[in-house]
Structure 1
Amino acid sequence: MKRVLAGVATAVAALTLAACGSSDPLAEDSGDGGGGGGSAESIAIGSADFPESQLLAEIYAQALEGKDVQVSREFNLGSREKYFDGLKDGSIDLIPEYTGVLLQFLNKEAPEVESEEVYEALQGVLPDNLTVLDKADAEDKDAVVVTQETAQRWNLKSIEDLVPHCGEAIFGGPTEIQQRPDGLPGLKETYGCTFKSFKALQPGAITTKALLDGTVQAADIFTTDAAIEANDLVVLEDPKNNFAAQNVVPLVAKDKASDTVKETLNAISAKLDTEALLDLNARLNAPDKPDYADVAEEWLAEIGV
């Protein structure tokens, strides 16, 4: 009996030592993602308060979730003036941005207007904790837009043509365009255009309606807005380059720019040109008003990301 009990004790001790000498496989999986098949990566994605930004943010979110990155969505945060502090303090980690307006936000005196020059200059003025990934060919610029009726009445093709009539026109756009370098200050400095008055409008359908019903005679509308083609609106040419190149670019916290994040978002940027962006906005603006998530999922499947 003593020999039996001694054998049992030895076996129990061996099992105990074996258990102590091994690690919990679940703990490995929930660690840094190396070797366990799981991923500890997480990222908070934000968007501005207009449909295209929210759609791009959703595309980023779904693509990263497909790579096992944990995503939290902080959409519809408002204008750059509102959400940028969140990027600096770490409450959001990633947001779709536009090179030209972001550069001018960070350096109001930036002279660059061409795509590559803007992108290079932008990288030199970002806060230390932020970086930009590859820019897309897709470009969405602010533009001065009028109706066909107004264009014909005043014989308008460019912003220069509008100058003699600026004093007669009410201009509509987001509140922040009153201070932005390429907004009302830029139009005044570059073209000598001082409007009769300004009306603050939410980007999107509200601005389009105000333009169509005559509440405003000219408005700030993004060049990829599906409402331009749908309503036969006229985008006035900008021969003096008041509006710099505005390529879509992911703006991300450096400590969240892992290889997975970089490779995934760069692959999206490589597929996103202006034609694709116009198409995405048209889909989002379809009569059945599809959800952002559905449009994003469909497009990601099409491009294989």
Structure 2
Amino acid sequence: MNKATYRAAALSLVAALSLTATACGASDDSDDNPLTGSSGDKGSGKTIVVGSANFPENQLLAEIYAQALEDKGLKVTRKFDIGAREVYYDQVVKGGISVFPEYNGALLSVAVDKKSTATSTEEINTELKAKLPKSVEILDSAAAEDKDSVTVTSEIAKKYKLKTLADLKPVAKDLAIGAGSEFKTRTQGGVGLKSVYGVEFGKFQPLDAGAQSTLLKLLKDNKVQAANLYTTDPAIVEDKLVVLEDPKNLFSSQNITPLVYKSAVNDKAKAALNAISAKLTTEDLLEMMKKISNDKEDSSDVAEEWLTSAGLAS
């Protein structure tokens, strides 16, 4: 083996050992030190670990939780950008994370009971309280939620007198809807629109998942007259779009709801988190996400501003 080959092999070995050490460290953080990720506080409950998933809205919510808890004099460790529910849920159940901003409908149908047919906030939370593992619980749900919707421009809403999904029934045959290709065959989509509201659009314009910018352009250019948007999309506020009301709960509730590891969260922490839920609205979330997505403001600043305006920070 020449020197160059030997040196390359040595570097590869060092890198592999480094990765192994990092992986072990990550495991220790969530398993060996369930409450805090540090051996000095293990099991003491002195530090509350606030986690988040790997997308901006959830990170913002986690930052709001963290700052509110700190304002009450509680020690907080942030563990953000963890990944999908398949990754973080078990960490909360095992105590590696103390507090997590969840979406109650998805928590129930994805992690707790995939066969559940609950759709309303009350139904979903009743099932969660009955079916969650004993180590965790949900606190109060906020009015704020991020869910599927059928959204139209203000011009289309005015022209066809649209306020709810039911109002689409007599006119949908003359309209086109744009959505991800899977929307057409989902119960919480085209199938449900027909069975629950009797709504059948004259044309369905499929798009790849995540093509929100294209969908918005089609909607604003009147190439489609309705679109399947998430209710916290900043464009809803920016472009004054109209989210059609869903009185029959075709789209299941997705209220922002704290999921907590019971033994790591005291009454003071619970009160602080419930106070957030009592104030947080979908409109608040929309405005905050506009500041982050469009105005490029830092999420910690946006969180602090909202907490102050809501009277939840001193």
* TM-score, normalised with respect to structure 2: 0.65
Alignment partner of 1:208 is 2:213: no
Contact persistence 1:46–1:73 (CA under 8 A): yes
Alignment of 1:22-101 (within 5 A): 30-31=40-41, 40-43=46-49, 45-47=51-53, 49=55, 51-64=56-69, 67-74=74-81, 77=83, 83-90=84-91, 93=97, 94-101=99-106
C-alpha displacement of 1:256: 4.2
Structure 1 match to 2:242: 234
Structure 2 match to 1:300: 307
Structure 1 match to 2:144: 138
Alignment of 1:10-29 (within 5 A): none
| Percent identity over paired residues | 42
Structure 2 match to 1:80: none
1:86 & 1:268 partners in 2: Cα distance? 25
C-alpha displacement of 1:127: 4.4
- C-alpha RMSD over aligned residues: 3.7
Structure 1 match to 2:251: 243
Contact persistence 1:170–1:199 (CA under 8 A): no
Q: Choose which of 158, 164, 178 in structure 2 pairs with 1:158.
A: 164
Give the secondary structure class of the aligned counterpart of 2:80.
Answer: strand
Contact persistence 1:45–1:61 (CA under 8 A): no
C-alpha displacement of 1:132: 1.0
Contact persistence 1:132–1:249 (CA under 8 A): yes
What stretches of structure 1 of length at least 5 have no aligned partner? 1-28, 78-82
Note the alpha carbon deviations across 1:118-145, whole angstroms, 9 max, x for none.
Answer: 3223322334554211222434443210
Note the alpha carbon deviations across 1:206-242, whole angstroms, 9 max, x for none.
Answer: 6534432456442222444442232122222324331
Alignment partner of 1:172 is 2:179: yes
1:176 & 1:124 partners in 2: Cα distance? 31
User: Alpha carbons of 1:68 and 1:132: their partners in 2 closer, same or farther (altered >3 Å)?
Assistant: same
Structure of larger gyration radius: 1
Structure 2 match to 1:183: 189
**What stretches of structure 1 move > 6 A for 4+ residues in a row?**
none
Give the secondary structure class of the aligned counterpart of 1:97.
Answer: strand
Structure 2 match to 1:19: none
Give the secondary structure class of the aligned counterpart of 1:30.
Answer: helix
2:205 & 2:211 partners in 1: Cα distance? 18
1:48 & 1:189 partners in 2: Cα distance? 35
Alignment partner of 1:288 is 2:292: no
Structure 1 match to 2:13: none
User: Alpha carbons of 1:103 and 1:33: their partners in 2 closer, same or farther (altered >3 Å)?
Assistant: closer
Note the alpha carbon deviations across 1:11-53, whole angstroms, 9 max, x for none.
Answer: xxxxxxxxxxxxxxxxxx934697xxxx75252512353x433
Structure 2 match to 1:18: none
C-alpha displacement of 1:104: 4.4
